[in-house]
A and B are shown apart, each in its own frame.
Chain A
């Protein structure tokens, strides 16, 4: 029955599209088989058949299948590319993309794909895009063919290499060809000749390929592969060290961001502020709200959402900080234990308030396009979001340093810290300096929340994860010294990341804590001790 129906479909297609060539009719015949294929292996067979036709036109249906957008209409078993349009699905012709009406979701069946099938499609598409005009398409093709080498690829690759004009693409194509030669049954001499090419690539994919070659061949080829792996691994060990330093710097920048607000409230003012983490959380939630508004009202501005969120997060957190200072902390100056308890209570109230307003679940904060993905320097993969967070942390630090050292407000702040009574005698309104300093520290924590929303959960518990680390950084770096916070954050980050590969994340953290405790025993005031009356008192 199904065969008859498929045949009828084919006839119908032939009749309606009599003007198009026979090749297209063949393709349509193959595509129609999707409607009757059962299970992933049968669908995979149809994909192979379609790819073997070698027509670039099959890119549309295959790409749609990989994205889960290929549908079968239940009533007549015709295959369409679907595009969601409101309640229903807009149907497009699988080959030429012409609109072919609409269907309700219940009237069509999605053709299911899984990872294995997606990989088959990716490989098939890779071969097809080898002749693409855009160099990026050819690079992608070379890349897939390198990762899934196949002796059958040698022919097409030879043709492509001969006509390739861009040197960098040509090198990639040659590597892909070398990979295909290695898995083919060509003579040993050919294989030995290309191992050097793969070795020169020097990345993990090359190691992966050579390891399987090493396991599957004998004598000279095996030895050459082993030697090449050894070479690559020694180079990679060097890059690994670089990677660890980068990870350390990146973790350090996160620690710096989280701690820098505390460096003011705890470091400069001496307030043990357990609600500091919640200021970070408020900043992250402000980002979420800003993105919600942008998504619904101004979708074009999405890439700017973080920039818009920054001042707002600063204001929100600073305002809450000001209220806490005026409402609670100013009554408790000089009594650290009570401050600790009261701010702890405030932190619980803030968490529960956010939980009641936004719900207990994580909120989605999107990454703008300029913060997604990664790029390579040699074998070092650097993700954009980490890089921007580093730049941002250093900028915040520089601005804060300027405010503290070069503005009248900063001068007053430092005067109050150094000697409160003297400062008051000189006409500085110390209560207001206290309030504004606390608001500044809280506001900085708020903008840290904007950055941290990009790499962490936006949930009411966000702040909990950072409070301990922040105190560690400030105490280690030296209370009251911004430079200490900077050095403390980066050294803790790097030490942590160097320990992690050897000791594991759990033990690594414990070792760092023990080291800090020992260090504080030796130098109770941290790396950079502040000299002044306030500390002596």
Chain B
């Protein structure tokens, strides 16, 4: 009995030690550094996407230090691992702010992880930079949203498909994973399509569970829906892991992009890296950045990334660009405010403008969202995207969708004197939906 028990203890302590070694984070700090928190999952289901962002942040911090740091001090990254566990995100955020005393935090991927840390950031008054495209319907004082809002991704994508270049699509399949981002985005898209005169019977909405791998029935349903004599397209908000089997099944059942194109909002260069893309040429994705964009800034960024990660095959993607923009904005705002005090930096952030990687400038708007170009790309045989359409000029992130009945009257403006994330222009009051 005793022998057995001590064995278990040994196993557990061994795994704890192993885990500790794997997630080791720099903990010691000197007073002459500014600490920056990185809150991305390095283990669990979301590690697949978030680990890359942690590395990108480390690279950006390294580069800033090489340029002489910030306000004459060195930057120091504090990496924690919330392990794809939503409540742990809140705990780790609290630890970063209260214990490590970071000046700002870059992190989160899923909306549920962001929602779980929101109360911590407003209570302890710190800054979160959120780099991922999301469903909108939120604007918080302590959060800066550097990813796309629905009007910076979903709406232009649908516009492209409706245009002559995109194939004048008349029938729509909205295929998504069953959670908050696809459900809200599809609600917005359905309202938008109906406003554009698409009949209800020409829209099919379908949801599948997380990590779904048996797509046979869904793909044949898409095939069936597409054989009604009208040009059909799929708008996919299918999340990360489920995409690979989805595209494999599309390829196997012979659905070609020329006939039924799939427009994806969550498939980037990173997801395609695990796939043979030859059967997928022509399927689409809408982002604000593609690795293939040919600008000097982007070339330098890719070269730096390959050097930092010591692997020429690692791709760059849209959320990495969002961190690039967000980090540079924060640096500029801190320089402008002359301090890292979050209150002053939050005020200084609005109006800050930095170069993005697609050959233009992105500006932080009063609603804490940024301006970005929207690019539509087609998948190529080498796993990259080729831009086939690009919005004229920049699109400003719209936090409260104009197409949803309960949010169309809301606006957000964090400048004094309004300082409100959900101001209702109909009633003239701050508050209403989103007061959570």
> Do A and B come together as binding partners?
yes
A457 touches B241 (CB 8 A): yes
Please report the number of residue pairs spanning A and B whose Cβ atoms sit closer than 8 angstroms: 183
- When distances are taken between beta carbons in the complex, the residues of chain B under 8 Å from A254 are 214
CB distance from B11 to the nearest CB of A (A): 6
CB distance from B56 to the nearest CB of A (A): 14
Kindly report which residue of chain B lies nearest to residue A385, judged by CB atoms.
B252
Known: A352-B19, A362-B48, A459-B274. A204 touches B227 (CB 8 A): yes
- When distances are taken between beta carbons in the complex, the residues of chain A under 8 Å from B245 are 455-457
- When distances are taken between beta carbons in the complex, the residues of chain B under 8 Å from A374 are 252-254
Question: Which of B48, B217, B276 is close to A461, meaning CB atoms less than 8 Å apart?
Answer: B48
Q: Is the interface of B mostly helix, strand, loop or mixed?
A: mixed
- When distances are taken between beta carbons in the complex, the residues of chain B under 8 Å from A235 are none
Kindly report which residue of chain A lies nearest to residue B23, judged by CB atoms.
A352
CB distance from B47 to the nearest CB of A (A): 4
- When distances are taken between beta carbons in the complex, the residues of chain B under 8 Å from A506 are 178, 207-209
B164 touches A116 (CB 8 A): yes
Question: Which of B211, B274, B279 is close to A458, meaning CB atoms less than 8 Å apart?
Answer: B274
Q: Interface size on A (CB < 8 Å)?
A: 72
A115 touches B282 (CB 8 A): yes
Kindly report which residue of chain A lies nearest to residue B213, judged by CB atoms.
A456
Instruction: Tell whether B184 is near chain A: CB-to-CB under 8 Å.
Output: no
Question: Which of B7, B45, B167, B253 is close to A116, meaning CB atoms less than 8 Å apart?
Answer: B167
Known: A40-B165, A208-B227. A119 touches B258 (CB 8 A): yes
Instruction: Tell whether B380 is near chain A: CB-to-CB under 8 Å.
Output: yes
In Å, the complex CA distance between A251 and B249 comes to: 13
Kindly report which residue of chain B lies nearest to residue A255, judged by CB atoms.
B214
Question: Which of A207, A247, A360 is close to B48, meaning CB atoms less than 8 Å apart?
Answer: A360
The 8 A CB mask of A237-263 against B (1 = contact, 0 = none) is 000000110010011001000000000
In Å, the complex CA distance between A114 and B18 comes to: 50
In Å, the complex CA distance between A94 and B271 comes to: 35
In Å, the complex CA distance between A213 and B3 comes to: 80
Instruction: Tell whether A328 is near chain B: CB-to-CB under 8 Å.
Output: yes
A461 touches B211 (CB 8 A): yes
| Segment of A416-424, A480-488, A496-504 engaged in the interface with chain B | A496-504
B51 touches A360 (CB 8 A): yes
Kindly report which residue of chain B lies nearest to residue A250, judged by CB atoms.
B216
CB distance from B355 to the nearest CB of A (A): 23
The 8 A CB mask of B255-273 against A (1 = contact, 0 = none) is 0011101000000001101
Instruction: Tell whether B390 is near chain A: CB-to-CB under 8 Å.
Output: no
Q: Interface size on B (CB < 8 Å)?
A: 69
The 8 A CB mask of A46-68 against B (1 = contact, 0 = none) is 00000000000000000000011
A501 touches B273 (CB 8 A): no
In Å, the complex CA distance between A458 and B381 comes to: 20
Instruction: Tell whether B386 is near chain A: CB-to-CB under 8 Å.
Output: yes
B217 touches A501 (CB 8 A): yes
In Å, the complex CA distance between A356 and B244 comes to: 22
Instruction: Tell whether A211 is near chain B: CB-to-CB under 8 Å.
Output: yes
CB distance from B12 to the nearest CB of A (A): 6
Instruction: Tell whether A338 is near chain B: CB-to-CB under 8 Å.
Output: yes
Instruction: Tell whether A473 is near chain B: CB-to-CB under 8 Å.
Output: no
A207 touches B211 (CB 8 A): no
A373 touches B252 (CB 8 A): yes
Instruction: Tell whether A215 is near chain B: CB-to-CB under 8 Å.
Output: yes
Instruction: Tell whether A83 is near chain B: CB-to-CB under 8 Å.
Output: no
Instruction: Tell whether B425 is near chain A: CB-to-CB under 8 Å.
Output: no
Instruction: Tell whether B212 is near chain A: CB-to-CB under 8 Å.
Output: yes
Instruction: Tell whether A465 is near chain B: CB-to-CB under 8 Å.
Output: yes
CB distance from B422 to the nearest CB of A (A): 31
Question: Which of A373, A385, A461 is close to B241, meaning CB atoms less than 8 Å apart?
Answer: A461
Instruction: Tell whether B388 is near chain A: CB-to-CB under 8 Å.
Output: yes
In Å, the complex CA distance between A360 and B386 comes to: 26
- When distances are taken between beta carbons in the complex, the residues of chain A under 8 Å from B164 are 41, 116
- When distances are taken between beta carbons in the complex, the residues of chain B under 8 Å from A122 are 258
B273 touches A352 (CB 8 A): no
CB neighbors of B among A114-132 (8 A) = 114-116, 118-119, 122
Instruction: Tell whether B436 is near chain A: CB-to-CB under 8 Å.
Output: no
Instruction: Tell whether A201 is near chain B: CB-to-CB under 8 Å.
Output: no
In Å, the complex CA distance between A385 and B249 comes to: 10
In Å, the complex CA distance between A536 and B104 comes to: 61
Instruction: Tell whether A383 is near chain B: CB-to-CB under 8 Å.
Output: yes
- When distances are taken between beta carbons in the complex, the residues of chain A under 8 Å from B257 are 115, 118
Question: Which of A213, A352, A363, A366 is close to B22, meaning CB atoms less than 8 Å apart?
Answer: A352
The 8 A CB mask of B378-413 against A (1 = contact, 0 = none) is 101100001010000000000000000000000000
Known: A331-B4, A505-B207. A356 touches B276 (CB 8 A): no
- Listed A/B pairs (7) with beta-carbon separation below 8 Å: A115-B166, A115-B258, A118-B282, A207-B228, A331-B7, A359-B51, A506-B209
Q: A: which residues have CB within 8 A of B? A: 40-41, 67-68, 112, 114-116, 118-119, 122, 147, 204-205, 207-213, 215, 243-244, 247, 250-251, 254, 328, 331-332, 338, 342, 345, 348-349, 351-352, 355-356, 359-364, 366-367, 372-374, 381, 383-386, 455-461, 464-465, 497, 500-501, 504-506, 509
In the complex, besides A247-B214, A464-B45, 15 extra interface pairs with C-beta distance below 8 angstroms are: A41-B165, A115-B166, A122-B258, A208-B228, A247-B216, A250-B214, A251-B214, A361-B270, A362-B48, A381-B254, A386-B216, A459-B241, A461-B48, A465-B213, A500-B218
